[in-house]
Amino acid sequence: MNDATTIGGDPPIELFRAAEVRWHETPTAKIAYRVVGAGPPLILLHGWPLWGFTFRKLLVYLTPHFTCYLIDLPGGGDTVWRQETDFTWPGQAASVKSLLEGEGLEWYFLLGQDSGAMIARQLCLLDNRRVRALIMTNTEIPGHRPPLIPTFRRLQYLPGAGLIFRFALWMRWFVRSRWGFGSSLSREFNNNEFYDGIVWPLVRSGSRAAGHTRFLRGWSWDVLDRWRDFHRCIEAPVLLLWGEADTTFPIDLAREMAYQFAPPAEVHAIPGAHLFVQEERPVEVAAEIVRFTNPLR
C-alpha cells in the first residue's frame, strides 16, 4: 500500500473534507453521512465519543477497493438528533438500517469500531441477509466492564454533565490523562489533527457534547451480556481486528469471545496499538480489511 500521507497528491484529511455531506431522515433523527471511493460498499461505524472523522486515515487505503459509507451515528458528528431519538444500541442499528435501505444496497461489508461495533452487531441481527462480512476493532465484550466506563455512565446523569464534560476536554492535560484519551492512544501519539477534529468540536458545541452524553446513556450492560448467546446468530464471517496493547478491551478476552461465534471469529492482533487502532495504525488496519474481504467479493 502507498504511504499514509498522500494519495493522488491529497493528504488523508482532505479526502474526508472533500466528501459531500449527505442526509437521511428517520422519524427521530437527521443522519449525516459521507460516501467516498469505488467498489463494493463498506459501512464504517464509529465509537464513542468519535464521529466519521476518525476513519479519515483509512480512506487513503480503502477507497481504491471500496465505496466507503462513513456514518455519523446519532449523538455524534454532524447528525442532528432530537429528544425522542433512540440512542440504545438496537435503536442506533435501526437508524443505520433505514439509511442503508434508502441507499438501495443489495449487500455490504461492515466495519464497527469500539461501541460502533456493538451497533454493527445489532445491525447484523436486523439485516443478516445483506451483511457479507463483519470486521470489529476493539469493542465491548460480554461479561466485561471496561475501566472507567461504568463511572462515566453514572456521571452522565448528573446535572450539568455536558458542561463538565466540555470543560474537562478543554484542558489538554485531561485529554492526555487516563480519564481522557490517555488509555485509547499511545503516549507518543500527540496529534493536533485528532484534537482539532475529535476533541475541539465537543468543547465548542453544546449539542455535540449533549449528543455523546445520550450516546453513552444508551448503553446497556444487560444487552451486552446477552451477546454471549447472540454472537452465534451472526451469519457473516467475522474478523476481530484488535490493538494488542489496549487496556480497555483486553486482547485475551477478545480471543475468548471469538469462540462465541459459529464458526469462531478470526482474531488479528496489531502489536503496540491501543483502543483507537484506526488512528494509530491505519496501514495495518486497512490491509487486514482488504485481505479479509477479498475472497468474499
- Tell me the per-residue pLDDT of 85-140, one tens digit each, with 9 for 90 and over: 999 999 999 999 999 999 999 999 999 999 999 999 999 999 999 999 999 999 99
Range of the domain at 128: 12-146+221-296
The answer to the question of residue 98 being in a domain is: yes
The answer to the question of residue 167 being in a domain is: no
The answer to the question of residue 58 being in a domain is: yes
What's the pLDDT score for residue 60?
A: 93
Sign, CA dihedral 89-95-98-100, equals negative
Residues whose CB is less than 8 angstroms from the CB of residue 151 and which lie 6 or more positions away in sequence, other chains included? none
| pLDDT band at residue 182 using 50, 70 and 90 as cut-offs | low
Supply the pTM of this predicted model.
Answer: 0.91
- Residue 206: is its pLDDT beyond 90? no
- Residue 190: is its pLDDT beyond 80? no
The answer to the question of residue 80 being in a domain is: yes
> What CATH number should be reported for the domain holding residue 231?
3.40.50.1820
3 state DSSP class of 223 = helix
| pLDDT band at residue 7 using 50, 70 and 90 as cut-offs | very low
The answer to the question of residue 153 being in a domain is: no
The answer to the question of residue 192 being in a domain is: no
Could you tell me how far CA 118 lies from the centroid of its own chain? 9
| pLDDT band at residue 36 using 50, 70 and 90 as cut-offs | very high
- Residue 143: is its pLDDT beyond 70? yes
Domain tally, the chain: 1
| Amino acid (1-letter code) at residue 203 | V
The answer to the question of residue 270 being in a domain is: yes
Residues whose CB is less than 8 angstroms from the CB of residue 179 and which lie 6 or more positions away in sequence, other chains included? 148, 168
What's the pLDDT score for residue 155?
A: 67
Residues whose CB is less than 8 angstroms from the CB of residue 63 and which lie 6 or more positions away in sequence, other chains included? 7, 15, 36, 37, 38
Q: Which residue has the higher pLDDT, 227 or 196?
A: 227
The answer to the question of residue 157 being in a domain is: no
d(CA 181, CA 174) in angstroms, rounded, equals: 8
Q: What is the CA radius of gyration of the chain?
A: 18
